[in-house]
Amino acid sequence: MARPLRVAVIGGGIGGLAAARALLMRGMEVTVFEQAPRLSEFGGGVVLTPNALTALRALGLEDRVLADGFESKSQVVRSWRSGRVIVRNSFASYRSMFGATSCSIHRGDMQKLLAEFVPERDLRLSARCTEVIPGPRGAVARFADGSEVEADIVLGADGIHSAVRTSLFGPENPHFTGLMCWRGLVDPARLPPGLVAPEQTAWWGPHGHVVHYYVRRGELLNWVAHIETDSWTEESWSTEGDMAELLETYKHWNKQLRQIFEATERCYKWALYDRDPLKSWGRDRVTLLGDSAHAMLPYLAQGAGQSIEDACVLADVLARTPEDPDAALKQYEALRLPRTSKVQLGARERGRINHLSSPWDRFKRDARIAWRRWRGAKTALQEIAWIYGYNPQQPVVAQP
């Protein structure tokens, strides 16, 4: 009997830990290498759309995520100043059409949940990968402390600044999108009762938008505010923001948003940089997953979901052909790269639609949305069905 495949996963974020869970479920030997000294609870919320929950169901984790997160009743889009509802989608319709709902969860809670399924001995912290060396029969990962690890497969899940991707394809030059974001977490007890409904809410306005939703079983409200700006160089999520600057930027927006911002004790800001889709994800026994492969703008709420889909598909193809990992990795890329590239470009386009500056353009956009809703909720949801209706256990090479 052949020995199990040995997989070194570089990166202990949502994608890397989901991959570890999927690979361990199929009997492979997995070690996760994370550069941080501990798995941090720092960060904000994550929206998981129906396709993400379908993938988590395949990992046996859907119920846990729903229990640890927050299941809103619906998704609503409002006009930036008046609060007029542009569109509302009931998550009951998601269940009937896509077989799963949508929920939101704190990033730290999600990471902690996934880490429960990786044996402690197989989660190496303070392990910063600096280089990978692909080979036809395996690969070597080198670390900042001078150590090396050899594995049958090295999986780069080390995020947007991936050392694995750089080893494969050289350094990249991401381009600034002209957008910056603020984010914060609010204790609902600091808000007027009933101010924020149990919905995933987006406010679309000129040159920007704001989203907010509950996480941690409703114990926290997460918000993210996007706005166009001329220049900004900081890509880190941990740069502390100036509350006065935030309030000045959104002073003409709906009063409800200003109340949320004013109740926030600390906010952070960062810039959005964009990457074009890659033409290939790997070489020999090294491949990429999640943001390492397809970092995308947040406007379709697909960053985490696409990473979890990657994890499920990779584990399935390796389990089907363990005797030929090279063929399995090629199949993984063929199944996933076209879809994630389309999502990347779709997120870029959605950002443009969200931030229309012309009142006439916004009127036409809202009228088109209203017309689609008039034709029926199912018809309106068909446009997003190629994302939400995906099942990673039944993947296809090309999307419609």
Catalytic residue (choose from 213, 250, 268, 332)? 213
Q: Is 299 one of the annotated active-site residues of the chain?
A: no
Hey, what are 245's tokens? 């600057």
Question: Which residues lie closer than 8 Å to 216 by C-beta, 6 or more apart?
Answer: 68, 69, 70, 105, 106, 109
Q: Which residues pair with 181 in a beta bridge?
A: 226, 270
Question: How far is the C-alpha of 312 from the C-alpha of 158, rounded, in Å?
Answer: 17
Angle value at C-alpha 145, between 140 and 149, nearest 5 degrees: 20
Sheet holding 267-274, edge to edge: 85-90, 74-79, 199-205, 208-215, 220-228, 175-186, 267-274
Q: Take residue 162 and report the two structure tokens written for it.
A: 């991936």
- Of 229, 213, 211, nearest to 272 (Cα)? 229
Whole-angstrom CA distances from 281 to 162, 169, 317 are 12, 9, 16
14-25 and 107-115 helices, crossing angle to 10°: 30
Pairing of strands 138-143, 199-205: unpaired
* Contact yes or no for 32/16 (Cβ under 8 A): yes
Which residues are part of the catalytic machinery?
Answer: 213
